[in-house]
Chains A and B, each alone.
Chain A
């Protein structure tokens, strides 16, 4: 569906995207992950032909991405905004017509989506009269109005309350089941874990991890331990064989290496805390993200 080959983009004094390649298959949800400023948005802009790469190509169905391809793609930018003073339906009509939709097609599609997002009846209202969440829904509608083959969503969940997040998740799964390809970029690893088939983790403009989500987790092995406890868990971080840990008030997630001994840990822990739950599992994407990105920045610190 989409092949990104050796994309490279430099801005003044800064390499924004350094030789990035990945492939997105038809009908999958692809997660483009990375910390702020990693180069996600720049990558998306280059995919969409909004800015030109210094080198590299983007292939859509095997052909170079051209202006005509834009009609087949929907895009939800990260920072949200619409024409505040204009009416909802007029706004939708404008963006629909820019995707070469006929007015009757726009009407049908808009009715379908407005109903789905419980916005029917607001067609004549000005955008500024809508709540922020509803404005965001309108923006999402604009990105899917023309029934695109591929939808690129930059942080689609941010700004939505949990109810609407679930609604959006359902819609994304529905779109996927209808054969649409979805690329979404986010920091929210939870959503990625629930939705994505393949991921690509970018940091400082370079890919540091990519592949099938299940395989990535498998490769990390069962080296992750989740403990629910009460008491003072501060001893955990100094325990032998701990590679990385996240300790909260009565919950800890740790990643261990080969030096770690479950038995001696439990012996020690029994003296210090009350364990309610102890689970050896594959690591969460969150931990992988922290570890990968965290390591990278540590390495960078050492170099500098």
Chain B
């Protein structure tokens, strides 16, 4: 293999692809898309109310409303100092519950308040309450009301049993659990569930996007070269091995450019949004798995591209590849809950799943050193083996036009001297 020829191919593959609109657009769009996906739900969920909410309260027990109103109104205050909720007590006339609901629903529609709570008659026994209104989707509101009603109930019960309300306050003091992740080096760092989850998630999505994007580009250019017979001019100038090596290097450079840019955008975004969504522990390890994964899949795409005659034909095959890539995302949630489960551990020893599953596991719970060494070895051997197989398929495939090879034919290509 002559380096000058490999570099010529690398240079062409890199520069001509970096210049394409598809690459430039995706280079910018992808991170924006990912950031939006992560940041938006957070922003929306955390957004506090701007105005005082008016909430009606029907107390069928006639013993809780004062305590509930006091608790809600005094506890929750808006940023501008106004109370978050204005609780409007509604009298009930011992009418039947159906009539009551109809009457108060009507009041709500008339705009006297937005939503209302009915504290059930038997709430001391069965705990049943109702929250009614045209928009009752705020989980935070429900959670706050539930807590206030519960506290009021406890207070009433405790007072009945002769316990002082002061003691109650002490009992109800909230507990604030801070999760602290420890490492062997003894460093302690605050880390939330979401943070570890997103770290795994983001790196896997990035790897997937990167592989699919650059893989498609490689396939497109290979199919073009095949259908235009440019491949014959290329092979009359350099050996197939040199051509393939150049293509894989060019593709890797393309991937690195993309990663670099994403890191810059990512760091920039997290600084400007002051978000700390990604934990960067063991980043180097993640990046190594990332690159190994990338190289492994690059050879797969070389093989797919060289045996396809059209992009459509190639797409069927890349479909399977993306399925393999998506698998860890599907399992990410259960992995976060139990990173040492047998399933997750076993899957991370299957070559094509190793990069993504290790990237999934590392931020959650750093696997033992021996697992890292073994999976790295598996990856390196797989990369060497796959590149060899891809080289064989490439050498024959690029000169076969017309029909898709069968598995038997593929096997013959691989076995050919």
Interface residues of A (CB under 8 A from B): 45, 48-51, 67, 70-71, 73, 75, 77-86, 90, 94-95, 97-100, 139, 142-143
Check A80–B229 contact: CB distance below 8 A.
yes
**B8 pairs with A94, CB closer than 8 A:** yes
Other 8 A-B pairs with CB < 8 A, given A71-B237, A80-B228, A81-B229: A70-B236, A75-B233, A75-B236, A81-B228, A85-B20, A98-B234, A98-B237, A143-B233
- With A75-B233, A86-B16 known to touch, is A81 a contact of B238 (CB < 8 Å)? no
Given contacts A45-B232, A77-B229, A77-B232, contact A84 B239 (CB under 8 A): no
Are A70 and B230 interface neighbours, CB within 8 A?
A: no
Q: Does B67 contact A (CB under 8 A)?
A: no
- A74 and chain B: residue at smallest CB distance: B236
Select A73's contact among B2, B228, B236, beta carbons within 8 Å.
B236
Which of B2, B8, B399: most chain A CB closer than 10 A? B8
List of A residues within 8 angstroms of B234 by Cβ: 98
Query: B228 near A70 (CB under 8 angstroms)?
Result: no
Q: Is the C-beta of B311 less than 8 angstroms from some C-beta in chain A? A: no
Q: How far is the CA of A86 from the CA of B5 in the complex (A)?
A: 20
The chain A residue sitting closest to B224, CB to CB, is A83
Nearest-neighbor residue (CB-CB) of B15 within chain A: A90
Asked if B12 CB lies within 8 Å of chain A CBs, one says yes
User: Which listed residue, B20, B230, B232, touches A50 by the CB 8 Å rule?
Assistant: B232
Closest Cβ neighbor of B412 among chain A residues: A12
B236 nearest in chain A by CB position: A75
Contact at A82–B228, with CB atoms within 8 Å? yes
Can you list 15 A-B pairs, Cβ within 8 angstroms, ordered by A? A67-B238, A67-B239, A70-B238, A78-B229, A81-B228, A81-B230, A82-B230, A83-B16, A84-B224, A85-B20, A90-B16, A94-B8, A95-B233, A97-B12, A143-B233
Nearest A residue to B230 via CB reads A81
Q: Number of B residues contacting the other chain (C-beta, 8 Å)?
A: 23
Contacts of B230 in A (CB 8 A): 81-83
Q: Which residues of the partner chain B approach A142 to less than 8 Å between Cβ atoms? A: 233
- Complex Cα distance A70/B4, Å? 14
**From residue A103, how far is it (CB to closest CB) to chain B in Å?**
11
With A and B bound together, what is the CA distance between A73 and B235 in angstroms? 12
Tell me, yes or no, whether B296 is within 8 Å of chain A by CB.
Answer: no
How many angstroms between the C-alpha atoms of A51 and B398 in the bound complex? 11
B214-258, CB < 8 A from A: 224, 227-230, 232-239
B9 contacts the other chain (Cβ, under 8 Å)? yes
Given contacts A86-B16, A97-B8, A100-B4, contact A48 B228 (CB under 8 A): no
Q: Which applies to chain B's interface (DSSP): helix, strand, loop or mixed?
A: helix
CB neighbours of A77 from chain B (8 A): 229, 232-233
Q: CB distance B224 to A50 under 8 Å? A: no
For the complex of A and B, list the 10 residue pairs with the smallest distance between their C-beta atoms, beginning with the closest. Answer: A81-B228, A98-B237, A75-B236, A97-B8, A77-B232, A79-B229, A94-B12, A48-B236, A50-B235, A77-B229
In Å, the complex CA distance between A94 and B10 comes to: 10
Mark out the residues of chain B between 1 and 24 whose CB falls within 8 Å of any chain A CB in the assembled complex.
Answer: 2, 4-5, 8-9, 11-12, 16, 20
Contact indicator B229/A50 (Cβ below 8 Å): no
A95 touches B237 (CB 8 A): yes
Interchain CA distance A159-B236 in the complex, whole Å = 22
Set of chain A residues within 8 Å of B235, measured between Cβ atoms: 48, 50
Cα distance A143–B237 when bound, in Å? 10
Contact between chains at B228 and A50 (CB < 8 Å)? no
Point out the residues of chain B lying under 8 angstroms from A70, CB to CB.
236-238
CB B252 to nearest CB in A, in angstroms, measures 19
> Could you tell me the distance between the alpha carbons of A85 and B234 in the complex, rounded to whole angstroms?
17
Q: How far is the CA of A94 from the CA of B4 in the complex (A)?
A: 12
A108 to B401, CA, bound (A): 36
Contact partner of A98 (CB less than 8 A), chosen from B8, B20, B227, is B8
Q: Report B-chain residues with C-beta under 8 Å of the C-beta of A90.
A: 16
> Given A81-B229, A83-B224, A100-B4, does the pair A50, B16 have CB atoms closer than 8 Å?
no
Q: Which residues of the other chain, B, contact A100 by a CB distance below 8 angstroms?
A: 4-5
Q: Given the complex, which residues of B lie within 8 Å of A99, measured CB to CB?
A: 237
Q: Which residues of A contact B237 (CB under 8 A)?
A: 70-71, 95, 98-99
Taking the closest CB of chain B, its distance from the CB of A12, in whole angstroms, is 8
CB neighbours (8 Å) of A98 from chain B are 5, 8-9, 234, 237-238
A201 to chain B, nearest CB (A): 23
Q: Closest CB-CB distance, B9 to chain A, in whole Å?
A: 7
Residue numbers in A under 8 Å from B227 (CB-CB): 81
Closest B residue by C-beta to A86: B16
Q: What is the minimal beta-carbon distance from B13 to any residue of chain A, in angstroms?
A: 10
Residue of B nearest to A50 (CB): B235
The distance from the CB of A56 to the nearest CB of chain B, in whole angstroms, is 15
Instruction: Report Cα–Cα, A99/B11, bound state, in Å.
Output: 14
Closest to A97 in B: B8
Chain A residues, Cβ within 8 Å of B12: 94, 97
